[in-house]
Amino acid sequence: MLEKINLPIDLKDKTIKEKEELASDIRKLIIETVSKNGGHLASNLGVVELTIALHSVFDAPKDKIIWDVGHQSYVHKILTGRKEQFGTLRQKDGIAGFPKITESEYDCFNTGHSSTSISAALGMAKARDILKEDYKVIAVIGDGALTGGMALEALNDAGYSKTDLIVVLNDNEMSISKNIGGMASFLAKLRTRRAYTNMNRVVKNGLGKIPYIGKRTISGVQKIKSGLKHLFIPKMFFEDIGYKYLGPVDGHDIDKMMDLFKIAKTTEGPVLIHVVTKKGKGYKPAEEEPDKFHSTGSFNIETGKKNSSGKDYSRIFGEKLVELAKKDQRIVAVTASMKEGTGLLKFEHEFPDRFFDVGIAEQHALGFAAGLAKAGLKPVIPIYSSFLQRGYDQVIHDVCIQNLPVVICVDRAGIVGNDGETHQGIFDLSFLNTIPNLTIMAPKNFNELEDMLELAVNTEMPVAIRYPRGLEDTSLSSFKSPVEIGKCEVIKDGNEVAIFSIGKMTATALKVSSISNKDIAVINVRTLKPIDKKTIIDFAEKTKNIITIEDNIITGGLGETIQSVLRENNNFATIKCYGYPTEFVKHASVGEIEEMYGLNAEKIAKDIDDTFWKRPKNCEPYCATETYIPDYITKFKKMKKSIDFCNKNVISL
Ligand SMILES: Cc1ncc(C[n+]2csc(CCOP(=O)(O)OP(=O)(O)O)c2C)c(N)n1
């Protein structure tokens, strides 16, 4: 069937049976591709029929379908002209793992972070009405994403607005792991309503066929039924806040879903359709362990076994936290629905009473952690760097103004790779760097992460520790010295150039020093805030040439911090900063991205040997980042006067 379908229009004349055949073809394609490229498997397998039904009833791209989080948009991509490219999923220059407006007109809104779809849908619906246009707007949101504050804020606003818009609630009882919280319990009650409705039908169809007892039993059961109804059917929260509620409907029954979508299409005002799906549907290992196949690397289709690669930073963090928590009863852990990814499973198992999963709610998680800290506990809260962006104000307002001892562990910092722009963690050093009272640390390897965590939980103030996704670079294993807040670690001395690096980039710096033909010192910054000014100035005076390397944007990060230290101290060492430009970095592997942005050791070493030393004569000293150099060279050449001035004076660029 898949061969016959290129665009949603091709679905319109197909029978339900053909669509079911198509569902099976799509599942096969997704399993094959994700088993090679990695990606979000279980969520996509759960929405195959739902996506087919949506595209059968609605008319994309005229009608706008917004996928919350967007990790479940593979089926949508396959049905909207991208099945041929599907093999390139998440690869460099291939199709993205999330909806992208630049990739297809069928992707009407970029997503990647949770709980944004209803806000965007309401915005589009309002714009449509003001501009007197005619199309439908549909937000597809999971029960997990519905625990996010932004989704609840939007649900509240959209219900009250009376605007025509459709919310499809994809309820599979799972966030990444089992969904929790009051909303999850409420949805469970709504599902009971379906069980209750089904029971009614079973009673009629089944008991009715048994001679003698049939009819009398049915009427007896029906009497009980009306009594039960009031007991078991919960009050309709969605209806009370302004939605027409349809469902719950079996999310693997294309026919039934299409019926409800058709009703929704002609209904005025906000409509919420409750669709019940099974995460991982159609692939046994994913059905049995949907959490393990939520986001996966490559795996063996036959066995479901992953091609795993050993311990990573998250796991080291989790194990060390358990060790520390055994000694200190005040340590508690908080997660915003990311206990697997951040390495907290062991902690949850060992200390269920000291473990809190608050739903996909980073803002609440940080506010809650602040409360825990204020009342005497030591909360440790691991959050992926890009999701911490959600909680910026909470870090300032709830944690740091009160100087509370909350330890924020910024996981997946730097480039994460194939998940792309929405997930790259390249802004955290910059935005955290602005916050008073906050100490910011970054370990060069596993061992240093353990030491920093121990130091942080014993420091009565807010601390952020940022570390990357994946494995450590073992080249630094022999470099061990006690971690001190505000102190760099000199890995290697040198006389011609000093490289200041942070976190995992210290391994790159060491490699640069071994490839380059200059005599290079390597300094592991360790704490970005407070920064070790003395070591910076000492090396600037000694080498006169400073290089910084970070896996963050240079703006506001390590590079600019060291530049300002030099400026503040009237030091005129040459400085060149390696890091990411202030731009959104697309999906590709980490290695490919580092190569593209000139952040691998070979490129930096070559740059140092070839270019960095070719400074215009007569205009030393100067202080510039790479981007400024060509401009100033030209200007200096043109303006002799300026060169003379430069020779005599300090130019701070
Ligand atoms: C702000 C934010 N926090 C965390 C995540 C990581 N995340 C991706 S999908 C997901 C679970 C989503 O659950 P649900 O909406 O029910 O969709 P399902 O995968 O179950 O279909 C989480 C926590 C995210 N994308 N955005």
Q: What is the pLDDT of residues 541-566, one digit of tens each?
A: 999 999 999 999 999 999 999 999 99
Asked whether 511 lines ligand 1 (CB < 6 A), one says no
648, pLDDT greater than 70 = no
Which strand ranges, in their side-by-side order, compose the sheet holding 165-171?
64-67, 137-142, 165-171, 270-276, 244-250
The pLDDT score that the predictor gives to residue 196 is 46
Q: Which of 185-189, 533-537, 597-601 has the lowest mean pLDDT?
A: 185-189
Ligand 1 pocket residue status of 113, Cβ below 6 Å = yes
Q: Is the CB of 279 under 6 A from ligand 1?
A: yes
Ligand 1 binding pocket mutation candidate from 76, 111, 172, 360 (most atoms within 8 A of CB): 360
Q: Give the Å distance between the CA of 148 and the centre of ligand 1.
A: 9
Separation CA 35–CA 90 (nearest Å): 12
Q: What is the pLDDT of the chain when averaged over all its residues?
A: 90
**What is the average per-residue pLDDT within 41-65?**
98
- Residue nearest ligand 1's atom 25 by CA: 113
- Which pLDDT score is estimated for 102? 97
Residue 211, preceding peptide bond in cis (omega within 30° of 0): no
Q: What is the pLDDT of residue 45?
A: 98
Which residue of 175, 179, 384, 469 sits with most ligand 1 atoms within 8 Å of its CB, as the best mutation to test the pocket? 175
d(CA 49, CA 337) in angstroms, rounded, equals: 26
| Residue 631 pLDDT class (50, 70, 90 cuts) | very low
Pocket lining: 43 vs ligand 1, CB cutoff 6 Å? yes
**From the alpha carbon of 114, which atom of ligand 1 is closest?**
26
Average pLDDT over residues 62-84: 98
The pLDDT confidence band at residue 192, using thresholds 50, 70 and 90, is: confident
Compute the distance from residue 154 Cα to the ligand 1 centre, in Å.
Answer: 17
C-alpha of residue 174 to centroid of ligand 1, in Å: 9
Question: What is the distance in A from the centroid of ligand 1 to the CA of 72?
Answer: 10
Q: Which atom of ligand 1 is nearest to the CA of 40?
A: 19
Residue 237 pLDDT level (bands cut at 50, 70, 90): confident
The answer to whether 19 and 52 have CB atoms below 8 angstroms apart is yes
Ligand 1 neighbourhood includes 363 CB (under 6 angstroms): no
Q: How far is the CA of 632 from the centre of ligand 1 (A)?
A: 47
d(C-alpha 651, C-alpha 398), whole Å: 41
Question: Residue 190: its pLDDT value, please?
Answer: 87
pLDDT of residue 624: 38
Separation between Cα atoms, residue 406 and residue 373, nearest integer Å: 6
> pLDDT by residue (tens digit) across 431-458?
999 999 999 999 999 999 999 999 999 9
At residue 235 the predicted structure's pLDDT band, cuts being 50, 70 and 90, is low
- By annotation, the residues acting in catalysis are 279, 362, 390
| C-beta 143 within 6 A of ligand 1 | yes
Identify the band that residue 336 occupies on the pLDDT scale cut at 50, 70 and 90. very high
Ramachandran area for residue 420 (φ above 0: left; ψ -120 to 50: alpha; else beta): left
Confidence (pLDDT) at 180: 87
Average pLDDT over residues 339-359: 97
- Asked if pLDDT for residue 361 goes beyond 80, the answer is yes
For 504-547, what is each residue's pLDDT tens digit?
999 999 999 999 999 999 999 999 999 999 999 999 999 999 99
Instruction: Please calculate the CA angle 172-178-183 and round it to the nearest 5 degrees.
Output: 70
Question: What pLDDT is attached to residue 191?
Answer: 84
Report pLDDT for 610: 83
Q: What count of Cα atoms within 13 Å lies in the side-chain half-sphere of residue 546? A: 34
Q: Is the pLDDT confidence value at 323 over 60?
A: yes
Rounded to an integer, the average pLDDT of 605-614 is 79
The rounded percent of the chain whose pLDDT value lies above 90 is 83
Q: Which atom of ligand 1 is nearest to the CA of 47?
A: 21
pLDDT of residue 615: 53
Taking the centre of ligand 1 as the mean of its atom positions, its distance from the CA of residue 359, in whole angstroms, is: 9
- Band of the pLDDT at 623, cuts 50, 70, 90? very low
Taking the model in full, what pTM does it have?
0.89
Task: Select from 34, 43, 69 the residue to mutate for testing ligand 1; criterion: most ligand atoms less than 8 Å from CB.
Answer: 69
Q: How far apart are CA 477 and CA 472, in angstroms?
A: 9
pLDDT in tens, 364-379: 999 999 999 999 999 9
Q: Is 276 in the pocket of ligand 1 (CB under 6 A)?
A: no
- Cα–Cα dist 105/121, whole Å: 16
Q: How far is the CA of 144 from the centre of ligand 1 (A)?
A: 6
Q: In this predicted structure, what is the pLDDT of residue 644?
A: 56
Task: Report residue 630's pLDDT band, with 50, 70 and 90 as the boundaries.
Answer: very low
pLDDT of residue 230: 47
Cis before 462 (ω within 30): no
Tell me, what's the pLDDT at 308? 73
Task: State which amino acid sits at residue 291.
Answer: D
